[in-house]
């Protein structure tokens, strides 16, 4: 123990001697050296702690950067696989859900991407997709393969309604043709007969199964023809959008636009072009409580009086108003109100107990006594 103390004392004085010689401090006394030595040791220990602390921080930052990089790379890899293979390389197992949604995968194996497993998976996936498509079609379509004689058209009621051998009465979705005694009623009916009479048809459902009259709402197909679309395209029907059955609305509207441009069928124009029409389709308050808040104004902007006898005004649906002995003088206008009232020379009343014009979208058609299109307003 004594030897250890002597050695420590000797070492300390030796440091004192070396410190004086190295720093050329001839006048430094022993007490000052003690203070300097303590400060030096403190600074040395502090610097050591600071060094290890900064090193630890650097290691943590590096670890976080590496972790983030790995996670990002893994996500990019997964996205690339899903994009290129559209989910084909997720697992060989598939689950067919009750609502016939597409099969999806959950797990993967470490050796999955070898050629043998990949080929096996593709075969399984193809078979599963094929089964799923069959189920989807069986829900959407009736007589898909045109092999059921019960789906033969035995009667054409009018341009948008047919009857099948199996007693199904079909109202074609998304179209509307003229009613009986209206312009182009017979033409639309005859054209429908030419298309489907005594032929098997395929039917496609949308959302609603039947309308309020018990008719089945369907899209109708021949092997090489979409009948609903053809009726509009050839000008025998107008597009008639009635939610929620709107699957082919944009196709139907585009076909109607083309037919109008070509003045096909219903869209043949009248030479009368001296009218200005204003439609107030959104009544103030509740439409059902303010029926006369819906009105149509027809103004004669020509130089001669205009006789509207036999003219018709119609919406996109089945609401039709027929004018009787109404004469509009030049620069004057008449008003047609949806609700009840007593007719005058300037104010006419449709006398309906329900609104005519949809607030979201509808179409107004004005035709002359020959049924030719005078004016169309679409909103």
Q: What is the Cα–Cα distance from 372 to 298, expressed in whole angstroms? A: 17
- Provide the number of structural domains found in the chain: 3
Looking up residue 311, the CATH number of its domain turns out to be 2.60.40.1260
Evaluate if residue 88 carries a pLDDT over 60. no
Nearest CA to 240 out of 179, 167, 162 is that of 179
pLDDT digits (tens, 9 = 90+) for 1-25: 545 444 555 555 555 555 555 555 4
Q: Is 137 a domain residue?
A: no
Last residue of a domain, one of 246, 266, 286: 266
Residues 262, 205 share a domain: yes
Last residue of a domain, one of 37, 70, 103: 70
Q: Contact 364/376 with Cβ under 8 angstroms? A: yes
Give the DSSP letter string of 53-113. Answer: HHHHHHHHHHHHHHHHHHHHHHHHHHHHHHHHHTTTTS-S-----TT-PPP------TTTT
Residues 278, 203 share a domain: no
Residues 275, 299 share a domain: yes
Residues 278, 219 share a domain: no
What integer pLDDT is reported at residue 124 of this predicted model?
Answer: 52
Q: Is 235 a domain residue?
A: yes
Percent of residues, the chain, with pLDDT higher than 90: 50
Q: Contact 304/164 with Cβ under 8 angstroms? A: no
Residues 282, 247 share a domain: no
Q: In terms of residue numbers, what domain contains 261?
A: 149-266
What integer pLDDT is reported at residue 175 of this predicted model?
Answer: 96
Q: What is the Cα–Cα distance from 282 to 196, expressed in whole angstroms? A: 40
Q: Is 134 a domain residue?
A: no
Q: Is 290 a domain residue?
A: yes
pLDDT band at 51 (very low <50, low <70, confident <90, very high): confident
Please list the active-site residues. 171, 179, 215
Q: What is the Cα–Cα distance from 368 to 198, expressed in whole angstroms? A: 35
What integer pLDDT is reported at residue 54 of this predicted model?
Answer: 83
What integer pLDDT is reported at residue 42 of this predicted model?
Answer: 58
Residues 274, 262 share a domain: no
Residues 287, 213 share a domain: no
Residues 166, 209 share a domain: yes
Q: Is 82 a domain residue?
A: no
Residues 292, 219 share a domain: no
What integer pLDDT is reported at residue 50 of this predicted model?
Answer: 78
Q: Is 115 a domain residue?
A: no
Does the pTM surpass 0.75? The reply is no
Range 373-379 contact pairs with CB under 8 angstroms and sequence separation of 24 or more: 373/266, 373/267, 373/268, 373/269, 373/270, 374/269, 374/270, 374/272, 374/273, 374/275, 374/311, 375/275, 375/277, 376/260, 377/277, 377/279, 379/279, 379/281
Q: Is 107 a domain residue?
A: no
Residues 287, 350 share a domain: yes
Last residue of a domain, one of 215, 241, 266: 266
Residues 254, 282 share a domain: no
Q: Is 229 a domain residue?
A: yes
Mean pLDDT computed over 315-319: 88
pLDDT band at 116 (very low <50, low <70, confident <90, very high): very low
Neighbours of 225 (CB within 10 A): 14
What integer pLDDT is reported at residue 95 of this predicted model?
Answer: 33
Task: Compute CA distances 233 → 54, 77, 230, 262, 294, whole Å.
Answer: 77, 48, 5, 10, 31
Percent of residues, the chain, with pLDDT higher than 70: 69
Number of H helices, E strands in the chain: 6, 19
pLDDT band at 46 (very low <50, low <70, confident <90, very high): low
């Amino acid at each position: 123990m004594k030897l250890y103390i002597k050695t420590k004392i000797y070492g300390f004085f030796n440091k004192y001697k070396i410190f004086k010689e190295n720093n050329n401090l001839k006048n430094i006394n022993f007490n000052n050296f003690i203070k300097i030595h303590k400060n030096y040791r403190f600074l040395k220990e502090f610097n050591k702690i600071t060094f290890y602390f900064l090193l630890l921080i650097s290691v943590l930052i590096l670890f976080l950067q590496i972790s983030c990089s790995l996670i990002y790379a893994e996500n990019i890899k997964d996205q690339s696989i899903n994009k290129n293979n559209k989910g084909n390389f997720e697992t060989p197992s598939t689950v067919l859900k009750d609502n016939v949604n597409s099969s999806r995968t959950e797990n993967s194996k470490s050796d999955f991407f070898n050629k043998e497993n990949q080929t096996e998976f593709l075969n399984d996936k193809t078979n599963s997709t094929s089964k799923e498509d069959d189920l989807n079609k069986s829900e959407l379509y009736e007589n898909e393969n045109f092999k059921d004689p019960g789906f033969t058209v035995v009667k054409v009621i009018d341009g948008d309604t047919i009857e099948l051998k199996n007693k199904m009465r079909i109202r074609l979705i998304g179209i509307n043709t003229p009613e009986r005694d209206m312009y182009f009623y017979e033409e639309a009916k005859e054209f429908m007969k030419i298309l489907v009479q005594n032929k098997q048809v395929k039917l496609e459902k949308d959302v609603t199964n039947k309308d309020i009259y018990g008719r089945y709402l369907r899209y109708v197909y021949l092997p090489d023809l979409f009948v609903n679309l053809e009726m509009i395209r050839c000008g025998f029907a107008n597009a008639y959008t009635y939610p929620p059955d709107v699957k082919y609305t944009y196709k139907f509207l585009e076909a109607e636009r083309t037919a109008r441009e070509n003045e096909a069928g219903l869209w043949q124009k009248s030479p009368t072009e001296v009218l200005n029409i204003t439609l107030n389709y959104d009544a103030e308050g509740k439409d059902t409580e303010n029926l006369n808040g819906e009105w149509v104004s027809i103004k004669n902007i020509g130089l001669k009086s205009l006789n509207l006898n036999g003219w018709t005004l119609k919406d996109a649906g089945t609401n039709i108003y027929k004018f009787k002995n109404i004469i509009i003088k030049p620069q004057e206008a008449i008003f047609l109100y949806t609700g009840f009232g007593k007719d005058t020379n300037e104010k006419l009343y449709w006398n309906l107990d329900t609104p005519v014009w949809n607030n979201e979208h509808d179409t107004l058609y004005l035709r002359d006594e020959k049924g030719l299109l005078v004016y169309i307003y679409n909103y």
